[in-house]
Chains A and B, each alone.
Chain A
Amino acid sequence: MSAIEILDLEKTYMVGFWRKRPKRALQPLQLTVEEGEIFGFLGPNGAGKTTTLKILMGLVFPTAGTARILGRNWTDPEVKAQIGFLPEQPYFYDYLTAHELLDYYGQLSGIPAKDRKRRIDEVLSKVGLADVKGLQLRKFSKGMLQRVGIGQAILHDPKLVFFDEPMSGLDPLGRREVRDLMEQLKQAGKTVFFSTHILSDAEALCDRVAIIHKGELRGVGAVETLTSSVQGKVEVVWQGTQIPSSMKTLGAECHATGDTVRAVIQEGQQDAAIDLLRREHIRLIAITPLRTSLETYFVEKLQHSQTTAGKSA
């Protein structure tokens, strides 16, 4: 069973005050997310990521199409007992403390009173807020609110978690913690669907990604697949600042940074490069096939869509 099946969901808003005109926020979208995977939903600002999430959460009604979440129709209220949601830039009832807020959400999610306190304490420690549970949320920083948001999304131990820009407002340490948390959720068998425009996060975390731009799906697949269309090149890294002259005969492009040198050579010349470094008694650090980064793939997809749009215009 797929965790999420999106079947031709589309959304058109009417904009303008006097003369209303349609503005399509989401073209018919087809997407499947399998159970147990971390799925990245990528796109620039205004691409339609949040609209898709809002439709799936029942906050916005689609113009057409349908979706299934955990095998049920997405509008089925019982589905919501099994999903967690972190909205973009979350804001909560600021007159409550983190503990009270989670208690309220726990009540709404139907967590029995006897389990609630234990679960809240666990979640607050997991998101690094165990020490501030008595403080009202109006005194929280943006990063702390983001942590509360993540806490409320996983409070009821959902099977599927939706995060909308989960790294937003977090410092590098916080981002690392959220990445670790997502890994933990995956290891616990949960499915994570998260939207982001920070590609390094997606590359580091996701099993599969989808790229959306101007409401249209531009590409979807495993990160390795999307980034493996390499130019047939290999990167060789060694220690030191020395660049043997014979390395240049292999056609290598060498760049020294600090006490390491990186050279890019054609695929098939790795053995020759290794022999050469051995002869010079240079310590080899790594040899890795050069892959297109997700960022390159992403930019290519966006540029391609702009070119296509330009031609059709």
Chain B
Amino acid sequence: MSARIVHIASNTFREAVRDRVLYNLIAFAVLLSGAAILVGQISIEIERLVVVNLGLTAVSLFGIVIAIFIGIGLVSKEIDKRTLYTVLSRPVRRWEFIVGKFFGLAGTLVVNTFFMAIGVFAALFYVAHKFSASDATILVALYFIVLEFLIICSLALLFSSFSSPLLSAVFAFCLFVIGSFANDLRGFAMLAHGFTRWIATAAAYLVPNFSAFNIISAVAHQQPVSAQLILQNTLYAVFYTAMVLSGAVLVFEHRNLK
């Protein structure tokens, strides 16, 4: 990887840390500790299920919100504040800037998820007093959540490369919601006929299939996760992210910075 990409990524990470983005961890810790104590008192036999469900859902939602809200400003804020001028007047290619920004935000989210994961396991230990072998699947669920973040980051970055922060946030959030129901959309496409079927199928395969990444409920119920799903989701996320990032680069390469 180009050294310049690493420098841009580490500066993006530093910005997130200094802008106190990781302060959300405090809110997360308070929420999860409170929930664990409450669940410990009112649930019988299903403490693990509730804590895993609640914990992983919170990890996912906190991360998605951060990914969208940082991602939408990654390029547009640099253009508005003109900080980009002194970067692009150096031997930095525009694609390096986009890719560096992506890795910076992805790194922020991975670190964020790591700390939240510690919180989830701590809450789990508090209610169950031990760990079991099946708890390892929580790590898989967390991995899928990180893959979701990569896709969301790339989408936010794509929208940020040509649109205002507000519209970018709306687009990214809508795609997240639609993508979470991608399986239903595919089901609808199968039922439709003619032109509608064609349009619905295209839309169903074009939007990110977030429903495939959501194994929170299965993990909470201690169901196993197949290696095939892990491989499939990994390849899908990498391919989808690469495609969206290429789109962002393509847009940004031709953009006049007024």
Interface presence of B257 (CB below 8 A): yes
CB proximity of B6 to chain A, nearest CB, Å:
9
> Quick check: A80 and B90 within 8 Å, CB to CB?
yes
CB proximity of A70 to chain B, nearest CB, Å:
13
Stretch at the interface among A87-95, A173-181, A182-190, A274-282: A87-95
> Quick check: A107 and B15 within 8 Å, CB to CB?
no
Bound-state CA distance A149–B83 (Å) is 11
Interface presence of A108 (CB below 8 A): yes
CB proximity of B130 to chain A, nearest CB, Å:
43
> Quick check: A93 and B11 within 8 Å, CB to CB?
yes
| Closest residue on chain B to residue A164 by CB atoms | B85
Inter-chain contacts of B193 with A (CB < 8 A): none
Bound-state CA distance A225–B245 (Å) is 54
| Closest residue on chain A to residue B19 by CB atoms | A95
Q: In the complex, which of the residues A78, A84, A89, A92 contacts B83, with contact meaning CB atoms closer than 8 Å?
A: A92
| Closest residue on chain B to residue A78 by CB atoms | B91
CB proximity of B153 to chain A, nearest CB, Å:
20
Interface presence of B3 (CB below 8 A): yes
Q: Which of B1-43 contact A (CB under 8 A)?
A: 3-4, 7-8, 11, 14-15, 18-19
> Quick check: A77 and B91 within 8 Å, CB to CB?
yes
| Closest residue on chain B to residue A62 by CB atoms | B256
Q: In the complex, which of the residues B15, B19, B90, B258 contacts A105, with contact meaning CB atoms closer than 8 Å?
A: B90
Bound-state CA distance A91–B91 (Å) is 19
Inter-chain contacts of B8 with A (CB < 8 A): 108
- A: interface residue count bin: 20 to 34
Known contacts A108-B91, A108-B92, A110-B91; A90/B254 CB under 8 A: no
CB proximity of A279 to chain B, nearest CB, Å:
63
> Quick check: A90 and B89 within 8 Å, CB to CB?
no
> Quick check: B15 and A108 within 8 Å, CB to CB?
no
> Quick check: A92 and B88 within 8 Å, CB to CB?
no
> Quick check: B83 and A91 within 8 Å, CB to CB?
yes
Q: Which 3 A-B pairs have the closest CB atoms?
A: A85-B89, A95-B18, A107-B7
Residues of B at the A interface (CB closer than 8 Å) are 3-4, 7-8, 11, 14-15, 18-19, 81-93, 254, 256-258
Q: For the A-B complex with A60-B256, A108-B90, A109-B91 known, give 8 more contacts whose Cβ atoms are closer than 8 Å.
A: A58-B88, A58-B89, A59-B84, A60-B257, A80-B90, A80-B92, A95-B18, A108-B7
Residues of A at the B interface (CB closer than 8 Å) are 54, 57-61, 77-78, 80-81, 83-85, 87, 89-93, 95-96, 104-105, 107-110, 149, 152, 162
A-B contact pairs, 28 of them (CB 8 A): A54-B85, A57-B85, A59-B84, A59-B89, A59-B256, A60-B257, A61-B254, A78-B91, A80-B89, A80-B92, A85-B85, A85-B86, A85-B89, A87-B85, A87-B89, A90-B82, A90-B86, A91-B82, A92-B86, A93-B11, A95-B14, A95-B19, A107-B3, A108-B8, A108-B90, A108-B91, A109-B90, A110-B3
